[in-house]
Amino acid sequence: MRKKPVDIISNLFYYILILLYSFLFTVLSPIIFFVFIFLKNMRKKVLFRFFPFYKKKRIDHNEKDERNKNKILVHVSSAGEASLAYNLFKNFVDYSFFNDAAYLLLRQKKVESYPLPFESLISLTIFFVSKKYETVILVEQEIWPLFITFARIFKIKLIMINCNMYDRSFDSQIKLRFIYKKLFGYFDKIYARSDIDKKRLLSINKYLNVEVTENLKILSSFISSKIIQLNFDKFSLRYNIKDSIEFKNPDNSSILNKRNLVLIFASIHSEEFDILVDSMEILQNNLKKKLIIFFVPRYLQNINILKKKLSEKNFKFITLSEMENKKSFKKNTNDYIYDLILNISSSEDNTIGTVLIDRFGLLSELFKYGDISIVGGTFNNKGGQNFIEPLIYGVPAVIGPSYDNFSDLAAYFQDDELFKIDKKSTDFLYAQDIASTISLIDKNIDNIKQKLKLRVIQLLKIAEKQVKMIEKLYINF
């Protein structure tokens, strides 16, 4: 079929823009290099972003046979995307990352990972020539024009998973439709979160190959909680799904809940510190139970800001790293957290026992012992963090008004299952509402958990369908 003149002009205009874009970024690369050095979230392996020369790691021959190494690259931006990708692909693939939070998580998982090459002709040529990937998978809507164009030039298969077309990004993409029509058109397959996302994608390019999978963070959360286990063979995927949903260990939880209330402040942004520290003060004055709080900042580099906020309110706290120096934490995480809670609850001190978590990858373990979670990124304008995981553990979640990133997931839950705080004019009003909501949940915890269990069973059915999609994806590799 012959291309229409308008398509030829559009394609020509696109390639001219890409050349100008790449030329501009190449010229500015020395300046951007020094800017990256001073950005906290971008400085890891910054030199390799611009000159991606990599030493090949030695891989045991048997291990290499069992993995599809050096053929598939999965690109992630944030720690949340890195966690999702790792749950789905483990060490079966290589990873590239954009920010330092994703890098730290991937390093902790001990998988092969590289910083995303800078958007310049030199960096991308070196990267794609040296790595020789056959497939590149982008998680969510991580659009880098030159990276995607180069992948297509090198005849690499492009797949996007968990694609989300947020209002704010879709509005700009519609205005620049002639660019995004081409970029999305380079993808062999796009797996969208919802029918709305699919409709928006097709409004940009009606020829796209789009399949709706719902939000893959549902499946990822079930994998984190070990309700679903994926097992990777040479070029295939096997999986196991638990027959029943159980909330907590009843022997442990009955002992703990008589003595105290365990709160998990999960993925809290620095702009939210004041709100939650104020809520701690209100709870301490009004709640009769002993409070134990595990405070998990979204970005570990903000831990000193959090320490200062707590000190200003005269709260005592200890960091996880300080505790590790006193007792081995690595042997059995579950037993250690359980012993820790018992020790704090048996203390005669009536102040809140606060533990600051200053390392990655422990939220799943903490949720097992939490009674209520407060999810960060929802009390500022960040769009929210994943609240599905605590709910799967049977831990009621409190979120603020900003949850655009997970609005599709929030729709599954009623107001007495997922507790939403309406927008307030001041931080202190947020703190009051959080404290009163926690008290309300504590009084009705048994009924809430029963409702959550039914809802989680419904989500598990969605996750089972998503496993089938991942299985098909592996077959096509």
In a domain, 34, yes or no: yes
Q: Which residues pair with 319 in a beta bridge?
A: 356
- One domain, residues 399 and 342: yes
Mean pLDDT of 432-460: 91
Phi, psi of 228 (to 5 degrees): -115, 135
HEC per residue, 155-217: CCEEEEEEECCCHHHHHHHHHCHHHHHHHHHCCCEEEECCHHHHHHHHHHCCCCCEEECCCCH
Q: What is the pLDDT of residue 34?
A: 74
256, pLDDT greater than 60? no
Q: How many residues does the chain have?
A: 477
Amino acid at the residue 364? S
Cα separation, 277 vs 273, in Å, equals 6
Residue 60: pLDDT band (50, 70, 90) is very low
**Domain boundary at 213, 241, 266, which?**
213
Q: For residues 358 and 398, is the Cβ–Cβ distance under 8 A?
A: no
Q: For residues 188 and 153, is the Cβ–Cβ distance under 8 A?
A: no
Task: Tell me how far CA of residue 76 lies from CA of 90, 142, 246, in angstroms.
Answer: 13, 7, 32
Residue 168: pLDDT band (50, 70, 90) is confident
Cα separation, 74 vs 149, in Å, equals 16
Residue 170: alpha-carbon gap to chain centroid: 21
Across 313-317, 325-329, 414-418, least confident range? 325-329
- One domain, residues 32 and 161: yes
Q: Could you give the angle at the alpha carbon of 234 between the alpha carbons of 233 and 239, nearest 5°?
A: 20
Mean pLDDT of 331-354: 69
Residue 334: pLDDT band (50, 70, 90) is low
For residue 220, which of 88, 319, 368 has the smallest C-alpha distance? 88
Task: Tell me how far CA of residue 146 lies from CA of 114, 117, 357, 363, in angstroms.
Answer: 17, 10, 38, 36
Mean pLDDT of 294-302: 89
- One domain, residues 351 and 257: yes
66, pLDDT greater than 70? no
Sign of CA pseudo-dihedral 81, 85, 86, 88 = positive
Query: What is the helix (H) or strand (E) element at residue 41, kind and residue range?
Result: none
- One domain, residues 31 and 164: yes
- One domain, residues 267 and 188: no
Task: Identify the CATH number of the domain in which residue 140 sits.
Answer: 3.40.50.11720
Q: For residues 149 and 186, is the Cβ–Cβ distance under 8 A?
A: yes
Q: What is the pLDDT of residue 364?
A: 83
Q: What are the pLDDT digits (tens) for 107-157?
A: 888 898 888 887 888 888 888 888 889 999 999 988 889 999 999 999 999
Residue 348: pLDDT band (50, 70, 90) is low
Q: What is the pLDDT of residue 59?
A: 40
- One domain, residues 106 and 156: yes
Helix axis angle for 5-38 and 145-153, nearest 10°, is 120
Please give the sequence-ordered ranges of beta strands (E in DSSP) within 226-310, or none if there are none: 228-232, 237-241, 260-268, 290-297
Q: For residues 170 and 107, is the Cβ–Cβ distance under 8 A?
A: no
β-pair type (189-192, 237-241): unpaired
279, pLDDT greater than 50? yes
In a domain, 39, yes or no: yes
Cα separation, 266 vs 178, in Å, equals 40
Q: What is the pLDDT of residue 141?
A: 83
Q: Is 308 helix (H, G, I), strand (E, B) or coil?
A: helix
In a domain, 10, yes or no: yes
- Biggest CA–CA distance in the chain, Å, is 82
Q: What is the pLDDT of residue 326?
A: 63
- One domain, residues 133 and 260: no
- One domain, residues 159 and 264: no
pTM value is 0.85
Residue 255: pLDDT band (50, 70, 90) is very low
In a domain, 311, yes or no: yes
Q: What is the pLDDT of residue 193?
A: 93
Question: Who wins on pLDDT, 5 or 190?
Answer: 190
Report the percent of the chain where pLDDT is more than 70.
Answer: 81
**Domain boundary at 190, 213, 236, which?**
213
Q: What region does 377 belong to: left with phi over 0, alpha with psi -120 to 50, or beta? A: left
Q: What are the pLDDT digits (tens) for 212-250?
A: 999 999 999 999 888 888 876 655 566 666 665 666 554
Q: What is the pLDDT of residue 61?
A: 37
Q: What region does 329 belong to: left with phi over 0, alpha with psi -120 to 50, or beta? A: alpha
Task: Identify the CATH number of the domain in which residue 349 sits.
Answer: 3.40.50.2000
Q: What is the pLDDT of residue 58?
A: 42
Amino acid at the residue 114? Y
In a domain, 368, yes or no: yes
Amino acid at the residue 217? K
- One domain, residues 323 and 449: yes
Q: Which two tokens stand for residue 112?
A: 């092969």
Cα separation, 308 vs 303, in Å, equals 9
Domain count, the chain: 2
Q: What rounded mean pLDDT belongs to the chain?
A: 82
Q: Which two tokens stand for residue 437?
A: 């909501």
Residue 423: pLDDT band (50, 70, 90) is confident
Cα separation, 374 vs 353, in Å, equals 16
Residue 296: pLDDT band (50, 70, 90) is very high
Residue 53: pLDDT band (50, 70, 90) is low
- One domain, residues 280 and 142: no
In a domain, 145, yes or no: yes
Phi, psi of 265 (to 5 degrees): -90, 100
Domain extent for 454: 250-458
197, pLDDT greater than 90? yes
In a domain, 244, yes or no: no
- One domain, residues 154 and 19: yes
Q: What is the pLDDT of residue 148?
A: 94
Q: For residues 52 and 127, is the Cβ–Cβ distance under 8 A?
A: yes
In a domain, 476, yes or no: no
Residue 62: pLDDT band (50, 70, 90) is very low
- One domain, residues 182 and 274: no
Residue 335: pLDDT band (50, 70, 90) is low
